[in-house]
Amino acid sequence: MSTQHDPRAVAEEGRRLSGMEYVQAIVTGALPAPPISELIGFRLVLAEPGRAVFEMEPGPQHYNPIGSVHGGIALTLLDSAMGCAVHSVLKPGQAYTTVDMTVNFVRPVFEKTGKLRCEGKLIHAGGRVATAEGRVWDGAGTLIAHGSETCLIMAVPGTPA
Protein backbone atom coordinates (compact mmCIF):
# COMPACT_ATOMS: atom_id res chain seq x y z
CA MET A 1 0.00 0.00 0.00
CA SER A 2 1.50 3.33 -1.01
CA THR A 3 -0.63 5.42 1.36
CA GLN A 4 1.78 7.41 3.51
CA HIS A 5 -0.73 8.50 6.13
CA ASP A 6 -2.09 6.41 8.97
CA PRO A 7 -5.85 6.35 8.21
CA ARG A 8 -6.62 6.00 11.92
CA ALA A 9 -4.75 9.22 12.71
CA VAL A 10 -6.52 11.04 9.86
CA ALA A 11 -9.90 9.82 11.13
CA GLU A 12 -9.00 10.97 14.64
CA GLU A 13 -8.11 14.41 13.30
CA GLY A 14 -11.36 14.46 11.34
CA ARG A 15 -13.43 13.85 14.48
CA ARG A 16 -12.49 17.31 15.72
CA LEU A 17 -13.98 18.87 12.58
CA SER A 18 -17.57 19.22 11.50
CA GLY A 19 -18.55 16.70 8.85
CA MET A 20 -18.55 19.42 6.19
CA GLU A 21 -15.08 20.63 7.20
CA TYR A 22 -13.81 17.04 7.09
CA VAL A 23 -15.13 16.08 3.65
CA GLN A 24 -14.14 19.47 2.24
CA ALA A 25 -10.59 18.95 3.57
CA ILE A 26 -10.44 15.68 1.61
CA VAL A 27 -11.68 17.41 -1.58
CA THR A 28 -9.04 20.15 -1.28
CA GLY A 29 -6.25 17.76 -0.28
CA ALA A 30 -5.77 19.34 3.15
CA LEU A 31 -6.45 15.83 4.49
CA PRO A 32 -5.57 12.70 2.53
CA ALA A 33 -8.28 10.56 0.99
CA PRO A 34 -8.88 7.25 2.76
CA PRO A 35 -6.94 4.20 1.52
CA ILE A 36 -10.07 2.71 -0.13
CA SER A 37 -9.95 5.61 -2.61
CA GLU A 38 -6.49 4.61 -3.75
CA LEU A 39 -7.29 0.90 -3.74
CA ILE A 40 -10.35 1.25 -5.99
CA GLY A 41 -9.30 4.40 -7.83
CA PHE A 42 -12.10 6.83 -7.04
CA ARG A 43 -11.93 10.40 -5.76
CA LEU A 44 -14.20 12.78 -3.92
CA VAL A 45 -14.46 15.77 -6.26
CA LEU A 46 -17.21 17.86 -4.69
CA ALA A 47 -18.73 18.21 -1.24
CA GLU A 48 -21.53 20.53 -0.19
CA PRO A 49 -23.89 20.30 2.76
CA GLY A 50 -26.01 17.24 2.04
CA ARG A 51 -24.29 16.40 -1.26
CA ALA A 52 -21.14 14.57 -2.35
CA VAL A 53 -19.78 13.65 -5.79
CA PHE A 54 -17.21 10.97 -6.62
CA GLU A 55 -15.56 10.12 -9.94
CA MET A 56 -13.50 7.23 -11.23
CA GLU A 57 -12.25 5.60 -14.42
CA PRO A 58 -13.08 1.88 -14.50
CA GLY A 59 -10.34 -0.35 -15.81
CA PRO A 60 -9.49 -4.03 -16.28
CA GLN A 61 -8.45 -4.27 -12.62
CA HIS A 62 -12.15 -3.83 -11.74
CA TYR A 63 -13.39 -6.69 -13.93
CA ASN A 64 -15.22 -9.76 -12.62
CA PRO A 65 -14.98 -13.27 -14.13
CA ILE A 66 -17.82 -12.59 -16.63
CA GLY A 67 -15.96 -9.78 -18.41
CA SER A 68 -17.49 -6.59 -17.00
CA VAL A 69 -16.73 -4.25 -14.12
CA HIS A 70 -17.80 -5.86 -10.85
CA GLY A 71 -21.07 -4.46 -9.50
CA GLY A 72 -19.34 -3.86 -6.19
CA ILE A 73 -17.56 -0.91 -7.79
CA ALA A 74 -20.83 0.96 -8.43
CA LEU A 75 -22.07 -0.13 -5.01
CA THR A 76 -18.91 1.22 -3.34
CA LEU A 77 -19.23 4.51 -5.23
CA LEU A 78 -22.85 4.81 -4.10
CA ASP A 79 -22.08 3.94 -0.48
CA SER A 80 -19.23 6.47 -0.46
CA ALA A 81 -21.24 9.30 -2.03
CA MET A 82 -24.35 8.73 0.06
CA GLY A 83 -22.24 8.29 3.20
CA CYS A 84 -20.32 11.51 2.57
CA ALA A 85 -23.61 13.33 1.94
CA VAL A 86 -24.65 12.20 5.43
CA HIS A 87 -21.21 12.94 6.88
CA SER A 88 -21.35 16.50 5.52
CA VAL A 89 -24.08 17.44 8.03
CA LEU A 90 -22.52 15.89 11.14
CA LYS A 91 -21.23 17.88 14.11
CA PRO A 92 -17.71 17.47 15.50
CA GLY A 93 -17.55 14.25 17.50
CA GLN A 94 -20.27 12.52 15.48
CA ALA A 95 -19.84 9.58 13.14
CA TYR A 96 -22.10 7.43 11.01
CA THR A 97 -22.28 3.88 9.79
CA THR A 98 -24.35 2.38 7.00
CA VAL A 99 -27.19 0.27 8.38
CA ASP A 100 -29.04 -0.63 5.19
CA MET A 101 -28.46 -0.09 1.49
CA THR A 102 -30.45 -0.87 -1.63
CA VAL A 103 -28.88 -0.68 -5.10
CA ASN A 104 -30.41 -1.11 -8.53
CA PHE A 105 -28.00 -1.81 -11.38
CA VAL A 106 -29.52 -0.72 -14.69
CA ARG A 107 -26.54 -1.03 -17.09
CA PRO A 108 -23.26 -2.93 -17.09
CA VAL A 109 -19.95 -1.11 -16.88
CA PHE A 110 -16.89 -1.84 -18.99
CA GLU A 111 -13.51 -0.17 -19.32
CA LYS A 112 -14.82 1.51 -22.50
CA THR A 113 -17.70 3.03 -20.48
CA GLY A 114 -15.26 5.72 -19.41
CA LYS A 115 -15.47 8.01 -16.42
CA LEU A 116 -18.16 7.26 -13.87
CA ARG A 117 -19.70 10.03 -11.78
CA CYS A 118 -21.64 9.28 -8.63
CA GLU A 119 -23.71 11.79 -6.68
CA GLY A 120 -25.10 11.21 -3.21
CA LYS A 121 -27.79 13.46 -1.73
CA LEU A 122 -29.08 13.64 1.80
CA ILE A 123 -32.80 13.00 2.12
CA HIS A 124 -33.19 13.26 5.91
CA ALA A 125 -30.90 13.72 8.91
CA GLY A 126 -32.35 13.20 12.36
CA GLY A 127 -30.70 12.79 15.73
CA ARG A 128 -29.94 9.08 15.23
CA VAL A 129 -30.87 8.14 11.66
CA ALA A 130 -30.09 9.68 8.28
CA THR A 131 -31.16 8.62 4.80
CA ALA A 132 -29.61 9.40 1.44
CA GLU A 133 -30.02 8.54 -2.22
CA GLY A 134 -27.47 8.24 -4.97
CA ARG A 135 -26.99 7.77 -8.69
CA VAL A 136 -24.09 6.66 -10.90
CA TRP A 137 -23.82 7.95 -14.49
CA ASP A 138 -21.34 7.43 -17.29
CA GLY A 139 -19.66 10.34 -19.08
CA ALA A 140 -22.59 10.67 -21.52
CA GLY A 141 -25.05 11.06 -18.62
CA THR A 142 -26.52 7.56 -18.97
CA LEU A 143 -27.75 6.12 -15.67
CA ILE A 144 -25.72 3.09 -14.56
CA ALA A 145 -27.07 2.45 -11.05
CA HIS A 146 -29.09 4.11 -8.31
CA GLY A 147 -29.72 3.40 -4.69
CA SER A 148 -30.60 4.56 -1.21
CA GLU A 149 -29.22 3.98 2.23
CA THR A 150 -29.95 4.42 5.89
CA CYS A 151 -27.19 5.47 8.26
CA LEU A 152 -26.96 5.39 12.03
CA ILE A 153 -25.61 8.63 13.52
CA MET A 154 -23.63 8.16 16.72
CA ALA A 155 -21.32 9.98 19.07
CA VAL A 156 -17.68 8.92 18.92
CA PRO A 157 -16.58 7.80 22.41
CA GLY A 158 -14.19 10.28 23.98
CA THR A 159 -15.19 13.23 21.80
CA PRO A 160 -17.78 15.89 22.56
CA ALA A 161 -20.87 15.57 20.38
Q: Which tens digit of pLDDT belongs to each residue from 31-41? A: 999 999 999 99
In a domain? residue 129: yes
Please write the tens of the pLDDT for every residue from 75-117: 999 999 999 999 999 999 999 999 999 999 999 999 999 999 9
Residues 6+ away with beta carbon under 8 Å from 154? 94, 95, 96, 97, 128
CATH code of the domain covering residue 66: 3.10.129.10
Which uninterrupted H or E stretch holds 152? strand 143-155
In a domain? residue 160: no
In a domain? residue 111: yes
Task: Kindly indicate the confidence band of residue 2, based on its pLDDT and cuts at 50, 70 and 90.
Answer: very low
Q: How far apart are CA 64 and CA 59, in angstroms?
A: 11
Residues 6+ away with beta carbon under 8 Å from 73? 40, 56, 58, 62, 109, 116
Q: How far apart are CA 78 and CA 120, in angstroms?
A: 7
In a domain? residue 41: yes
In a domain? residue 2: no
In a domain? residue 108: yes
Cβ contact 81:134 at 8 Å? yes
Task: Kindly indicate the confidence band of residue 5, based on its pLDDT and cuts at 50, 70 and 90.
Answer: confident
- Count structural domains, the chain: 1
* HEC readout, 100-124: EEEEEECCCCCHHHCCEEEEEEEEE
Cβ contact 10:25 at 8 Å? no
Q: Look up the domain containing 93 and give its range.
A: 7-155
In a domain? residue 1: no
In a domain? residue 161: no
Question: How far separated are the first and last CA of the chain, in Å rounded?
Answer: 33
Q: Taking all residues of the chain, what is their mean pLDDT, rounded to a whole number?
A: 94
Cβ-based neighbour number of residue 49 at 10 Å:
14
Please write the tens of the pLDDT for every residue from 115-143: 999 999 999 999 999 999 999 999 999 99
